[in-house]
Amino acid sequence: MATKPIPGGQEADMLKLPKWFFKWSEDNPTDLMGPGILAGVVGGAAAVVALLVAFDNPYKTVDYQTGPRGIGMDVSKFVKDNPQYDAYAETYAAFERPEAQEDEPTAAEAYGETVMAFGDLPQSSFDRLQEAMSAWVGTPVVLYDNGEVDETTLAITQSCVEATQYLNTDWDTHNLASDGRGVNCYTCHRGQPTPPGSWLKAGVVNSAASGWAGIQNRLLTYERAGTTSFVHKYTQSEFTALPVDAVEKFLLDGASIKVHDLESRVAQQPGDPTWQDAERTFTLMNHQSNALDVGCVFCHNTRAFYDATQVTPQWSITTLAQQMTIDINQNIYEPRSEILGRESAKVNCMTCHMGVISPLNGRDMVAEWPELAQ
């Protein structure tokens, strides 16, 4: 039985709906697409907003201010990429020292005069430190002559201990060992006998050329196993056609990085020393940028790269790190080649930083074992 419709005004009063709604419905009795789309759009937008509120914005960015306000010296990065997270921190093994027992002998008393370092430690702590170092470098470490380790291995181990203590003591201004930060074996080795971020001299890489042209236009790649989840890969030319020997010239030989002057270069040709050093500088800047995952404005004001009065505080820290790297490459790692009988791997910014500003997410590396800082 058909029901008699209620007049529009009475129906509006009863259902609390506006009159235009009933007028529109009378004029468009079968058009459901319009309100359906409207309802879908509104509902979809509400759902997206609800998801963003519940699970946070997946495309949220974070801004890092690197210089004075108002001149655009900042870097924006997606939070989802977590650009400053050191994945190696997940595989770091911490070893707490055992409590010394009453009348426990020291390492020197237990193992004799061949103990190369940490002889004043109680024997149990000494053994635990050997265990920790073995895990940090991915190969057994022995700190005394036990009759099973050859002289070369012992000499390299002693050199590594001295290098660690030297970095934590003489270069505390950069490594912050006095605050417990510092470095230990894992900072460079990352669980591998050869540090994945170390490097060797490039030599001539372009056999079709000689001289300056022989050290560019080739991709010299280092690829070493990292953690169980990835392989660490980087190049000396930073994926460019620039010279591959920039790290060698600047962070081993100690060549000057300051190549800016106001002289005209119109009459000069590629191969001129000034051009060559400038291109090496570009390579080094790319290396440092990739080693810390930062851009130029992390250290420089791009309006005036040459002006030392307009740089950021990070510029001074980086300059100090360059001097530190030159020091240890010249006085520790290059002389080690004589012990090995072959070229010794050396260090650069990537060796410790591995793509982040703060290695291992800022973990304190000598707080557990302050003996690593002499």
Binding-site positions read: 174, 185, 188-189, 285, 296, 299-300, 349, 352-353
- Which residues carry a binding-site annotation for heme? 174, 185, 188-189, 285, 296, 299-300, 349, 352-353
Which residue carries 């004799």 as its tokens?
Answer: 112
* DSSP of 167-213: HHHHTHHHH-GGGT----HHHHHTTSSS-TT-B-------TT--GGG
- Contact between 299 and 75 under an 8 Å Cβ cutoff? The reply is no
- Contact between 243 and 279 under an 8 Å Cβ cutoff? The reply is yes
Which residue carries 């004075």 as its tokens?
Answer: 68
Closest CA to 218 of 199, 233, 238: 238
| Cα(328)–Cα(346) distance, integer angstroms | 9
| Cα(173)–Cα(168) distance, integer angstroms | 9
| Cα(277)–Cα(309) distance, integer angstroms | 23
| Cα(107)–Cα(114) distance, integer angstroms | 10
Closest CA to 363 of 30, 70, 88: 88
